Chains A and B, each alone.
Chain A
Amino acid sequence: MAERVVDRHNEYLRIEGVSKRFGDFVAVDNVSLSIYKGEIFCLLGGSGCGKTTLLRMLAGFETPTSGRILIDGQDMAGIPPYERPVNMMFQSYALFPHMTVTQNVAFGLEQEGVDKHEIRRRVDDMLSIVKLGDFAKRKPHQLSGGQRQRVALARALVKKPKLLLLDEPLGALDKKLREHTQFELINLQEQLGVTFVVVTHDQEEAMTLASRIGVMNKGQIVQVGTPTDIYEFPNSRFVADFIGSVNMFEGKLIEDEPAYVRIGCPELETSVFVSHGISAPPDAQVTVAIRPEKIEMSRTAPASRDENHVTGVVKEIAYMGDLSIYLVRLPSGRLVRVTMPNVERHDERIVWDETVHLSWHPSSPVVLIQ
């Protein structure tokens, strides 16, 4: 999707050096972040990386051990969840099972003491926005998973929060529904202009939803950037490996010029030529990362075979329909992952045990130092 423009002058949520310890365990380690008004910010990381703890601190369910959280300039220290201008959509949705859809959505407004007619109007509006008008009288157990998800969303959004926190919003939905709901979420967010902070372990979900992604590992934010930044320019081995699939080769700098670098990798027959400079100490141990879709595979040798080129034998093929994944064994024994789109239906496709040439453009590899 097209990258959305984020107004960087309108900082809405500010996290300053926030840490959270449970006994000896550091769940969140000195995180600082700025989130801007109207963006969808995704906290992405594996289980136990601290993303949910961070979200729960924003909601007020956990208190930071140190650091500050400011929402719209207001320090949140000591403010209980029920007084924060923030609403959360829970992973399990946490719908009240004894209340109808309408009662669930109206709950938050009743707590605010909003006038009855006003509640009715806002609840009806919200239910029609999430297309649940026909289900208003049902109880949660009479709804499908997708409908429950929309009730949870409506219940959180009807309060017009400054910040909507979403904990794995699509986690409980099946694949088809997820894709559909993903775009619905983005539309809703644009329509209502609420700032979203989404926690997810699913990189696809993060990539499609987010205006920016913060990748978390072991309680720390390791990289913040747009989905494209994160995918094309990962700043560490962890990020490169966590987002998408990648082939990584250990190597040493042979030439280090401002305009280009050349890297020797023991696992590859030729050296890797990268068409941009890097900042690394000479003789540094580096990692070359190449995405599977950026490797070209063919039966015939490319024109230039001195660099960015290897030969190998196809060992595995996984046909995915739209594309195929190939595992190619190099003479060094290393397996390289290559993906190719299945453009034509009656292609003379490469088959098992064929010898192939792999090559890539000098701008494709990413050189990682940490």
Chain B
Amino acid sequence: MRRSFLSTVKSWSQPRNLVIGVPYLWLLAFFAIPFVIVLKISFSWMQPIQPGYAPLIEWVEETRRLVVSFNFDNYQVLIRESLYVDTFLYSAKVAAVSTFWCLLIGYPMAYAIARSKPSTRNLLLMLIILPFWTSFLLRVYAWVGLLKTNGVINNTLLAMGLIDEPLTLLYTDFAVYVGIVYSYLPFMILPLYSNLEKHDLTLLEAAADLGAGPFKAFFKVTLPLSMPGIVAGCLLVFIPAVGEFVIPSLLGRTDQLMIGTVLSAQFFGARNWPVASAVAIGLLLVLLLPILLFQRYQQRELEASRR
């Protein structure tokens, strides 16, 4: 027994295991434990006194019993109340539309960067990443100034005589799309670029040699081969966009909330932590499907590239 214990400790302290252990510890401390706490709260009863929710398992001295009280009501609320279902669907729609536009705008940009001269390539990539140097909040706020009724865009269009009265741009779905596409575009471009940059250009020559013009060669060769980049980019935009909270609160409609806004309102406004936690878990479950699909896809790509 003692020997096996010692050897276990020994195998743990192998440099290799120590290195692998760091990310595991990280995930344990900052994902698994918080997740378990949120999961626990989502099943508890709301309580007006601190900490705001009742414990799941309690030792009651008077009756000398262990009381276990699970509350599934928080989840029933999610399904029962149309507010939550609507917000979930609306968030998914906003995320999907924004992802689509990110792809449409990001693909040509990634393509152009990947096909440019190596010397200019780094400069262009730098320009893509440059906006990250300013605060995200500030950049979204800047859009308020651009989109508002007497903002830069409306004033310019009025001055040019293209419109007679200001357009309603701010606090619309359009403003949210603009905000998300603008903020998340680099997350679409970077994985697409790293895929496109690795393409073997002789494949395009082969396609041309076999009679495919530039457009056909693109749709038959480049596009299918860039699928891993497209999938990665879309998920990197879609997943955070569904739960986006800052952009819809600053630019979005007031009559239709996104799930991130509801979540924050429940946590900080209503201080209903159990329901807020249930919303968070629900969001996670909704996003689990695309995440799992992505992982399966990555696995397949990895296997194919190993051969």
Residues of A within 8 A of B (CB): 59-61, 80-83, 86-88, 90, 92, 94-98, 107-108, 111-112, 141-142, 155-156, 159
Contact = CB atoms under 8 A, between A and B. Distances in A.
Given A94-B200, A96-B203, A141-B307, A112 B221 contact: no
Interface pairs A-B: 4 shortest CB-CB: A111-B211, A108-B210, A94-B206, A81-B208
B34 interface: no
Interface of B: 200, 202-203, 205-213, 216, 220-221, 224-225, 304, 307
B211 A82 contact: yes
A159 B225 contact: no
Which applies to chain B's interface (DSSP): helix, strand, loop or mixed?
A: helix
Contacts of B210: 82, 87, 107-108, 111, 155-156, 159
A93 B154 CA distance: 56
A141 B304 contact: yes
A94 B211 contact: no
B211 A96 contact: no
Nearest to A81: B208
Contact of A82 (B212, B221, B225): B212
Nearest to B210: A108
Nearest to B305: A141
23 contacts: A59-B205, A61-B208, A80-B213, A81-B208, A81-B209, A82-B208, A82-B211, A82-B213, A87-B210, A88-B206, A88-B209, A92-B200, A92-B202, A94-B202, A94-B203, A94-B206, A95-B206, A96-B203, A96-B220, A107-B220, A108-B210, A159-B210, A159-B211
B211 A108 contact: yes
B202 A90 contact: yes
Given A82-B212, A108-B211, A112-B211, A90 B206 contact: yes
Nearest to A87: B209
Contacts of B208: 60-61, 80-82
A149 B217 CA distance: 22
A97 B225 contact: yes
Nearest to B223: A98
Nearest to B208: A81
